[in-house]
């Protein structure tokens, strides 16, 4: 079958399905080609399921320490299969929601593997799409005016440590574990490594992180990193930095991990080895060679400020373009690409993107780190305000954390906001809005925040920058 469309989107993850909804709202005849499930990594293997598990671990810890709130409980247990069942329920509810949004928007979903074709009998331009199916069903050919590539990314691997899905695993395999392992070596101390380390440590697994560079959490502010590292170590997580895994010797149920460090080499015997060393764009086999589209050295698709590839009617959004591989970036880029295709509204290139780590402690940031600001030649004003400056932190039992605000001494503009501690991932939103509205610390100090609330921390830190702090 050959079918004409205004827009065909390759990949139905967060970027792809949001683009489809926006396109359908704009009246475009739209199709998505998805080889797996609509919702992609974020919904099925990433953001949503991991946060569901992390929430269960948080509740477990809270229940264990409920007595400090005057609530007496029996010893709680962390029931992995029930935790996974709840995760499945959360995912399924959202999955059903996304599927009905596709129906409501009259978006055609092709459940097959899509590949770009070059100029052909279907169109003189590259960009028709052949949809291939696993069964013997004949290929469909889709002939769109515009294409959006939203094929996402997949876990990187290390050549000599190939994941087998049993002993050596990636984050994709973690939801299939039968139970909580007794011990785990996590290779890579980035966002994925830290979130999983935090989760497993909270539920009794003995965790070692092996990080190749001198610090965990690349891209985050050094004060936040050292605070987090200290707290993770206090919870028993072993963190090896400047460390490389030389070899993994596997048997059926465990592995010997040979690690080279600056100090002494170590061998750790473990049940699971989790490889969390970044992600790579999914461009394999999608027919890029049939087009003029260009890729960077890391395999990411090169786009201009409107998210157009070298073929101006073919756009690319989200993880497949590299850079900030975050679901909220993909969603923003989806809206931006559609607004360009429909010439309806010009959205600016995203400048300030919040980043969150849903570990214990939570971390969130927006803008530059102190080091980045210094490297860019700013004369910085830096203030840190600890959570006990606001009464709500005591009410919540979450006094362990701080906010760090960085501003420009010359212009008094905001440069960066960094938060670590309970609810940091929610607390960053006023910061995002401040960046969007170009608010200064002075303006943030003038906002009336409800009392008692953790948001008062913004008032405290902004007043500190102004030299007029009230508490703390
Ligand atoms: P990452 O790039 O954040 O971190 C990978 C880490 O692995 C780095 O610290 C790197 O130095 C280390 N590393 C690389 N090779 C190594 C080796 N051979 N041995 C030891 N260490 C090694 O990657 P990630 O944590 O895998 O996350 C991938 C992407 O997914 C990121 O872009 C991240 O932002 C995104 N993500 C975001 C969230 C969130 O926003 N909460 C959650 C999960 C993933």
Residues in the chain: 472
Q: Which two tokens stand for residue 332?
A: 């923003």
Give the Å distance between the CA of 217 and the centre of ligand 1. Answer: 8
Q: How confident is the model at residue 289 (pLDDT cuts 50, 70, 90)?
A: very high
Question: Average pLDDT, stretch 88-109?
Answer: 98
Give the Å distance between the CA of 386 and the centre of ligand 1. Answer: 28
Cα–Cα dist 232/360, whole Å = 8
Give the Å distance between the CA of 255 and the centre of ligand 1. Answer: 22
Q: Binding site residues, as ranges?
A: 51, 114, 151-153, 188-195, 211, 278, 319, 325-328
Mutation pick for ligand 1 pocket among 51, 156, 190, 419 (CB with most ligand atoms within 8 Å): 190
Cis peptide before 361 (omega within 30 of 0): yes
> Going from the N-terminus, what domains does the chain have, and what CATH number goes with each?
2-154+280-341 (3.50.50.60), 168-277 (3.50.50.60), 361-465 (3.30.390.30)
Per-residue pLDDT, 349? 72
Give the Å distance between the CA of 216 and the centre of ligand 1. Answer: 9
Per-residue pLDDT, 389? 97
Per-residue pLDDT, 351? 74
Question: In the beta sheet, which residues pair with residue 380?
Answer: 408
Measuring CA to CA, which residue among 404, 419, 435, 279 is closest to residue 356? Answer: 419
Per-residue pLDDT, 62? 96
**Ligand 1: which residues within 6 Å by Cβ?**
158, 187-193, 195, 210-213, 218, 244-245, 276-279, 325-326, 356-358
On average, the pLDDT of the chain sits at 96
- Nearest ligand 1 atom to alpha carbon 216: 9
Residue nearest to atom 26 of ligand 1 (CA): 278
Residues with Cβ within 8 Å of 162's Cβ and at least 6 positions away in sequence, in order, are 168
What percent of the chain is modeled with pLDDT above 70? 100
Q: Which two tokens stand for residue 94?
A: 């959202």
Per-residue pLDDT, 103? 98
Q: Which residue has the tokens 């362990």?
A: 400
Residue nearest to atom 28 of ligand 1 (CA): 278
Question: Average pLDDT, stretch 53-78?
Answer: 97
* pLDDT tens digits for range 293-350: 999 999 999 999 999 999 999 999 999 999 999 999 999 999 999 999 998 777 777 7
Q: How far is it between the farthest Cα atoms of the chain? A: 74
DSSP assignments along 370-429, one per residue: HHHHHHTT--EEEEEEEGGGSHHHHHHT--S-EEEEEEETTT--EEEEEEESTTHHHHHH
Q: How confident is the model at residue 1 (pLDDT cuts 50, 70, 90)?
A: confident
Question: Average pLDDT, stretch 189-210?
Answer: 98
Question: Average pLDDT, stretch 65-77?
Answer: 97
Q: Which of 113-117, 156-160, 365-369, 439-443 has the lowest mean pLDDT?
A: 156-160
Q: Binding site residues for FAD, as ranges?
A: 51, 114, 151-153, 319, 325-328
173 is catalytic: no
Q: How confident is the model at residue 5 (pLDDT cuts 50, 70, 90)?
A: very high
Question: Average pLDDT, stretch 444-469?
Answer: 96
Give the Å distance between the CA of 191 and the centre of ligand 1. Answer: 5
Q: How confident is the model at residue 264 (pLDDT cuts 50, 70, 90)?
A: confident
Order of all β-strands in the sheet with 363-367 = 355-357, 363-367, 414-420, 402-408, 380-386
Q: Which two tokens stand for residue 308?
A: 């157009």
Q: Binding site residues for NAD(+), as ranges?
A: 188-195, 211, 278
Per-residue pLDDT, 160? 87
Mutation pick for ligand 1 pocket among 191, 199, 247 (CB with most ligand atoms within 8 Å): 191
Q: Which of 150-164, 181-195, 375-389 has the lowest mean pLDDT?
A: 150-164
| Of 173, 418, 451, 471, catalytic | 451
């Amino acid at each position: 079958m050959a079918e004409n469309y205004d827009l065909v989107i390759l990949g139905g993850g967060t970027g792809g399905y949001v683009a489809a909804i926006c396109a359908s709202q704009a009246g475009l005849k739209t199709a998505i080609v998805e080889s797996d499930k609509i919702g992609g990594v974020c919904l099925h293997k990433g953001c949503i399921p991991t946060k569901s598990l992390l929430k269960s671990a948080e509740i477990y810890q809270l229940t264990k320490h409920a007595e400090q709130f005057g609530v007496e409980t029996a010893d709680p247990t962390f029931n992995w299969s029930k935790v996974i069942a709840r995760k499945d329920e959360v995912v399924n509810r959202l999955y059903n929601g996304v599927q009905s949004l596709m129906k409501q928007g009259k978006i055609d979903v092709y459940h097959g593997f899509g590949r770009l074709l070059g100029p052909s009998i279907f169109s003189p331009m590259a960009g028709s799409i052949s949809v291939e199916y696993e069964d013997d069903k004949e290929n469909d050919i889709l002939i769109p005016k515009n294409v959006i590539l939203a094929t996402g990314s997949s876990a990187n691997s290390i050549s000599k440590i190939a994941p087998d899905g049993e002993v050596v695993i990636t984050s994709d395999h973690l939801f299939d574990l039968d139970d909580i392992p007794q011990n785990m070596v996590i290779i890579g101390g980035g966002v994925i490594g830290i979130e999983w380390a935090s989760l497993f440590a909270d539920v009794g697994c003995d965790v070692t992180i092996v990080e190749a560079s001198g610090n965990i959490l690349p891209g985050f502010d050094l004060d936040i990193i050292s605070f987090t590292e200290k707290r993770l170590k206090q919870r028993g997580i072993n963190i090896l930095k400047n460390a490389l895994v030389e070899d993994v010797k596997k048997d059926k149920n465990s592995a010997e991990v040979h690690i080279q460090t600056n100090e002494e080499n170590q061998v750790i015997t473990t049940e699971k080895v989790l490889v969390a060393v970044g992600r790579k764009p999914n461009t394999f086999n999608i027919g890029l060679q049939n087009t003029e589209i260009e890729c960077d050295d890391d395999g990411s698709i090169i786009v201009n400020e409107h998210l157009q590839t070298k073929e101006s009617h073919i756009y690319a959004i989200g993880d497949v373009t590299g850079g900030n591989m975050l679901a909220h970036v993909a969603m923003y880029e989806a809206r931006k690409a559609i607004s360009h295709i429909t010439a309806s509204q010009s959205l600016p290139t995203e400048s300030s993107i919040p980043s969150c780590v849903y570990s214990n402690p939570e971390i969130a940031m927006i803008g530059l780190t102190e080091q980045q600001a210094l490297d860019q030649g700013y004369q910085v004003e830096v203030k840190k305000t600890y959570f006990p400056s606001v009464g709500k932190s005591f009410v919540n039992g979450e006094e362990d954390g701080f906010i760090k605000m960085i501003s420009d001494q010359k212009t008094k503009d905001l440069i960066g906001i960094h938060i670590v501690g309970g609810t940091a991932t929610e607390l960053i939103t006023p910061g995002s809005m401040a960046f969007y509205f170009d608010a200064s610390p002075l303006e943030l100090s003038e906002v009336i925040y409800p009392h008692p609330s953790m948001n008062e921390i913004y008032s405290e830190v902004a007043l500190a920058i102004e030299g007029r702090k009230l508490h703390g």
